Amino acid sequence: MTMESEKTHIDKGIRKYLEIPNMYNSFQNLIGSPNHRKEHYTSHFTLPSDTKILDIGCGTGALMDYLPKGIEYHGFDMEQSYIDFANEKYGDRGEFYCERVGEQMYDKWFGYFDAVNANALIHHLSDKDTLFLFDVAHQYLKPGGFLITLDSVFHDNQSSLSKWLVSKDRGQNIRTPEQYLKLANTYFSEVKTELKTDHLRIPYSVFMMKMYKS
């Protein structure tokens, strides 16, 4: 299985400005992302200093702000400007790669990582590409390691405003909790989930999955 070229991400019009690292970070600050990001990352990535982490779709490297020194960190993103920003800010603490995860398979990483992060990523991917990502993550994880995702979601009893705001996300494959879980169960039999409806200062819902490799 390889990644397909289907367009599932909008980067035109006003959304194009979010490809600029400082604009992206400023927008995230405006809608209150940092507080919720801190809660999410400190809940799931308070890990020993010898932990090995793979960050897929690492963006500007925000996860690094919540990791202890000594963590072995590898971050991947397809946006060169994000990688340049991350290298300038965090390059002394981790390795950053401008490529799609799985574009090159690293044999040395099979069964290597304790944790894989894919924050706000799979709602940008087709089902085929999501399954490819899950396959790569599963191969790279140690037994007992976990993959964690957090994505925009459509769900029952969601307000009209929340649905509208979620629909304006750059990612064009926003799913229901059941649809996300079905994909996860293809590779992971143990999945913990959480639906959050108060994720930001604006009405916005996200769905978290924490998938463990047996």
**Helix spans in the chain (H):** 21-30, 33-44, 80-90, 127-140, 160-167, 177-184
- The ranges assigned to domains in the chain are 13-212
Supply the pLDDT for residue 187. Answer: 98
Across 24-28, 31-35, 39-43, 189-193, the highest mean pLDDT is recorded for 189-193
Across 110-114, 119-123, 203-207, the highest mean pLDDT is recorded for 110-114
- For the stretch 29-88, pLDDT in tens is 655 566 778 888 999 999 998 999 999 999 999 999 999 889 999 999 999 999 999 999
Alpha-carbon distance of 75 to 79, in angstroms, equals 12
Amino acid code (one letter) for 62: A
Fold of 13-212: Rossmann fold (3.40.50)
- Dump strand ranges (E) for the chain: 52-56, 72-77, 95-98, 113-119, 141-152, 190-196, 206-212
Q: What letter does residue 118 receive in the DSSP assignment?
A: E
